[in-house]
Structure 1
């Protein structure tokens, strides 16, 4: 068989493998029943590191988001499997639509733009944007950074906020949070903007940095599923609601943030 004539055979085999890999807890293609990419697994797309929501410790991914999704996996009687993937593919919906994962939990803010590509659960975490800089730098507003450099994480709401409100500020884009925070610590940028939860977590162990301001953006995180996966989305909502009612949510929150959430 020539290489040219083998192509259709290879393509057919690949398609068959994909179909075999996409197994279901309750077979359905219209979203009315829960369908999982891998049998016995709830596959989660995330983008590391984003402590304390998801971070690798001792070869294992742990964090607030991980514990929340574990509650869903437990309800489905499966195990959570985590896939580390670039954030752009998560927030665009590509990773979900190509069956790389069942859900996306990546400290991701619910936005109208993202809702065009994803279906979100009910909000499970309140967040806002914040500014981080070297201690004593004196940057309290974006106006203080006029002519200075501000680090942003690509494809995030922090980047969008900086573009909209940071007139005269030089934006420097980074692929992930670790690179962004290292840039602040080493002086590569004068300051950086990101979600308040991850910045406060960082300064706890990096005393030469400080969170200098918060911006009232009123954001909420959601767990995303591919568009039309109504049964899975409703299951996630049900689990979050039960966890808030029976105290499990508060215990997980306190575990990662040191105190129960404000009521």
Structure 2
């Protein structure tokens, strides 16, 4: 998504004041791993905490990051585990409101070393965040009940569309649905948005394609209808101006994972299919 403000949440007072929940990522025990290519020790890349790569994310955003059997797992988690392994440290995950992630505030405050939250690279965000190379292509789509007869935005005239605050999906809806007479209802959390579609509180929801497909798979009474080509690409975020060494490692790990088949294997693990292209 080169022109949308993607996946964020407006900072609500409650979210801003809530304490961050720190959870260990799946794949622990990597702290004993030696770096595979002679990379400098972890402290030389300026990690917030010695011996660990601290990751900011906002849960849940299945299948990118979510809790399962007491562990945080997902596609993003597995990719950042590769970076932690390269550095010879373990990954530690901080669950925190997305507004602080996408604004760069958490990175600037040294709450974490890297942000992995299915976050789209945008020019606005790139002014505040140092992004990695893109690691995932994503677009937007509609989620509806199968018996709703809603197939496109045009079918939502006079109805209510759920949107996630601060996201490119919301911006797309503001630009393309509101002019058609569609009422928008904001949700800070994607889980609340999607459950509202399921319960009938809203007539449809708009969000990232892979998240909606995963939710529809688990809720067969729902379906994904119209998809919107927005050209969105996710990137990992780092503190702007002081993370050049870490960004170099991240980009190298992503490149090597795509070349040696690791990226394809992880993609298929979480999305059920191989990527069209991992180059």
Q: Say yes or no: TM over 0.5.
A: yes
Residues 47-126 of structure 1: pairs in structure 2 closer than 5 A:
47-126=58-137
Per the normalisation by structure 2, the TM-score is: 0.82
Residues 17-36 of structure 1: pairs in structure 2 closer than 5 A:
25=41, 34-36=45-47
CA shift at 1:208, angstroms? 0.6
- Structure 1: tracts of 5 or more residues without a match: 1-23, 28-32
- Structure 2: tracts of 5 or more residues without a match: 1-39
The residue aligned with 1:222 is 235
Which of 192, 199, 206 is equivalent to 2:212? 199
Contact between 1:25 and 1:35, CA under 8 Å: does it hold in 2?
no
* Distance (Å, rounded) in 2 between the aligned partners of 1:250 and 1:132: 27
Counterpart of 1:220 in 2: which secondary structure? Answer: strand
* Distance (Å, rounded) in 1 between the aligned partners of 2:109 and 2:86: 25
Which of 123, 137, 158 is equivalent to 2:169? 158
Residues 1:125 and 1:26: Cα distance change in structure 2 (over 3 Å): closer
CA shift at 1:26, angstroms? 6.2
* Distance (Å, rounded) in 2 between the aligned partners of 1:87 and 1:55: 14
Per the normalisation by structure 1, the TM-score is: 0.87
Q: Which has the larger radius of gyration?
A: 1
Name the Cα RMSD after superposition. Answer: 1.3
CA shift at 1:143, angstroms? 2.0
CA displacement, residues 143-186 of structure 1 (integer Å, 9 cap, x when unaligned): 22121111111111111111111122111111111111110000
* Poorly superposed stretches of 4+, deviation over 3 Å: 24-27
Contact between 1:87 and 1:155, CA under 8 Å: does it hold in 2?
no
